[in-house]
Amino acid sequence: MITRQFASEVRWMLRRPRTLIGLFGLILVPIIISFGIWTAGEGEGGPGLAAILQGNGMVVPIFTLFLSLNLLLPLVASIWAADGLAGEAQHGTLRGLLVAPVSRVRLLFVKLFGLAAMSLLAVTLMAVVGIIAGTAFLGTDGMVTLTGTTLSTGEGLLRIGLFILLVTFQMVSIGAVALAVSATTEHPLVVQAATMTTIIVFQVLGQFSSLDWLHPFLITTGFPGLVDVMRDPIPPDQIWSSTLLAGCYLLIGTGLAAMRLITKDS
Amino acid sequence: MTTSTSAPVTAPTKSAVAARTKGLRKEYGSTVAVDRVDLEVPEGAVLGMLGPNGSGKTTTIRMLLGLVRPTQGEIELLGKPLPDGAEHALPHVGALVEGPGFHPFLSGRENLVRCAAFEPLLPKKQIKQAVEDALERVGLAQAAHRRYRGYSLGMKQRLGLAAALLVPRKLVVLDEPTNGLDPAGTREIRKIIAELHGAGSTVLVSSHLLSEVEATCTHVAVLHRGTVVAQGELTELLQAGGSALQVITPDVETALSALRQAKISARPLGDGLRVELAGTSAPQVIETLVKAGAQVFEATRWKTGLEELFARLTEAEEAERGMSAVDTLDGGSR
């Protein structure tokens, strides 16, 4: 029964015009980045990842996801979370599901599953298009790391796979918090606005060194550390702490959403 | 009243009641939406829930379906207490609440398939067939491939009904099912209700269209200002409400004061009076009138329709008289 509900949820999300448009928009990002780096030519590399992009197409997916994680991916996650509960409430379809009946806790898991499945799809799609576009525009000879070593193509793909999972997890955690907001309202836009405002405010707060004590609690603080997958060998500390932090957000978000949903009048 | 003796034998239930509420109360902030609602939906009945807008019909229905938590009171649905027993009771309940709710970007059929995926009683293999059957039943088969966005109000309503009928139900709850339907659509809804009734399902229909209820229901519950002011079998309620006399007389004032002295309630109406026969009889009324010197040209037994009963029960200006009428009705129907 639950697999059938999961399947229905994913099918429903994929049928939404805005999902398709969103996914299309997302795969444009790695293409544009590849094209941009290609036209910029030699010697224009910036700091960090951008510096090793030239002639290193396999880094494009990592760079793309890293850039998108700051704004684009949280936005997409918030849209899906908003449609999941607030949107269903707005259309009156939430009532239908509850009367079917789907228990409220199960409904939350169905929504969380849909969010996770779609996030994984979106991130993987961006990465795959990134590999293709990066290789096509910039060429590749294995993967040059931030440490300066060169990984084989197979090793490089593994790194990309790991990064996909890490980024998806961050995205789902943000989505879980957005679901908690989504459970409180009938207006999907409120959910998106609240989520995006939070992400932006977190990033602004992250800029002030006087707020050092706060930084370990902001999910956005963990984003840059994920790039460590591009070092050789991988230093695990920052990746662990970022993922752990996201895990806390996931648990808190899910918990709050469940609490709200269980007592919600609809 | 016709009891559904043709009902298929189901698991023995403790009582012959499909749904029951006791002392139901719901507050939204400082507003009391529903108060002291004791509703009984007998098994196999078609119960019409009547009430003006804002009388608490929908709130009561939402509580019956476990969508809304009551502030106070108990609910029993198909023998299971709510909200804890919702998972066991609700699969047998089909509902159309507060208008149809579907996704605009999906076609009618796709919307139903999504509903069907969440129906616990529907095996995966039967989903397709169940959806087609439901579409056929509500007359939407031709438009099933079109997007819900482009549906007319009546088509939306039909789709909502189809969702409620995806699985054979023990109880079907329809909140204002004829909203937005043309006369033909209304007739079809009546036909569907009759079919459900014939198959032994219990039906709870809320409506403010009285003719609707009168035509399809075996039982009636009248809600007013969030509370049940009358309930029982339709025929009994009408009989109890029918005890009134229309008297044609030119001497309205004289007649009124005479009746008042005799503690008989009456009010001016048209060319004469309308006299309630609660606690009195027609000969007594006429005798009183004649003794008082009022000329009686004509006295007719009032033929009460549901509309009249309803008006009497819910008219705000006549709260007092309304309440006393309710007492009489309650006494009569139990």
Residue B9's φ and ψ, nearest 5 degrees, are -70, 120
Report yes or no: B114 at the A interface, CB cutoff 8 Å: yes
Distances, alpha carbon B248 to alpha carbons A122, A217, B251, B273, B298, in Å: 80, 84, 9, 6, 5
Which one of A7, A99, A263 has the shortest CB-CB distance to B90? A99
Residues of A in contact with B101 (CB under 8 A): 91-96
How large is the C-alpha radius of gyration of chain A? 19
* Percent of chain B predicted with pLDDT > 70: 88
pLDDT digits (tens, 9 = 90+) for B21-53: 998 999 888 888 888 899 999 999 999 988 888
Residues of A in contact with B128 (CB under 8 A): none
Strands B272-276 and B227-233: unpaired
Of A77-91, B68-82, B176-190, B256-270, the range with the highest mean pLDDT is A77-91
The yes-or-no verdict on residue B328 having pLDDT over 60 is no
User: Which residues have C-beta within 8 Å of that of residue B35, sequence separation ≥ 6?
Assistant: B24, B25, B26, B56, B226, B227
Q: Is the dihedral of CA B311, B312, B317, B322 positive or negative?
A: negative
Burial B43-82 (b: 16+ CB within 10 A, else e): bbbbbbbbbbeebbbbbbbbbbbbbbebeebebbbbbbeb
pLDDT score at B7: 41
In B230-318, alpha helices (H): 234-241, 252-261, 282-291, 306-314
Query: How distant is the Cα of A84 from the closest Cα of chain B, in angstroms?
Result: 12
Which one of B62, B86, B115 has the shortest CB-CB distance to A96? B115
Strands B93-96 and B171-175: parallel
**What distance lies between CA B91 and its chain's CA centroid?**
22
Count CB atoms within 10 A of the CB of residue A86.
Answer: 25
The yes-or-no verdict on residue B138 having pLDDT over 60 is yes
Q: Which residue of B has its CA nearest to A16?
A: B105
Report yes or no: B90 at the A interface, CB cutoff 8 Å: yes
Which one of A93, A99, A100 has the shortest CB-CB distance to B103? A93
In angstroms, the CA B322 to CA B325 distance is 5
pLDDT score at A41: 67
The yes-or-no verdict on residue B305 having pLDDT over 80 is no
Distances, alpha carbon A158 to alpha carbons A128, A161, A164, A237, A239, in Å: 13, 5, 10, 19, 16
Instruction: Provide the token pair at A125.
Output: 């799609």
pLDDT digits (tens, 9 = 90+) for B92-116: 999 998 888 999 999 999 999 999 9
Distances, alpha carbon B154 to alpha carbons A90, B213, B314, B317, in Å: 20, 19, 29, 35
In angstroms, the CA B29 to CA B27 distance is 6
Q: Which of B75, B37, B52, B2 is nearest to B176 (CA)?
A: B52
Residue pair A185/A260 in contact (Cβ under 8 Å)? The answer is no
Residues of A in contact with B97 (CB under 8 A): 95, 99
Contact state of A100 with B102 under an 8 Å Cβ cutoff = no
Q: Which of B153, B144, B66 is nearest to B106 (CA)?
A: B144
pLDDT score at B303: 62
Report yes or no: B98 at the A interface, CB cutoff 8 Å: yes
Which one of B67, B102, B115 has the shortest CB-CB distance to A91? B102
- Residue B207: beta bridge partners? B50
Residues of chain A scoring pLDDT < 50: none
Residues of A in contact with B105 (CB under 8 A): 15-17
Residues of B in contact with A96 (CB under 8 A): 101-102, 115, 118, 163
**What distance lies between CA B62 and its chain's CA centroid?**
14
Residues of B in contact with A12 (CB under 8 A): 103, 106, 114
Q: Which residue of B has its CA nearest to A103?
A: B87
Amino acid symbol at A150 = T
pLDDT digits (tens, 9 = 90+) for B282-297: 888 888 888 888 888 8
Count CB atoms within 10 A of the CB of residue B183.
Answer: 8
In angstroms, the CA A127 to CA A151 distance is 18
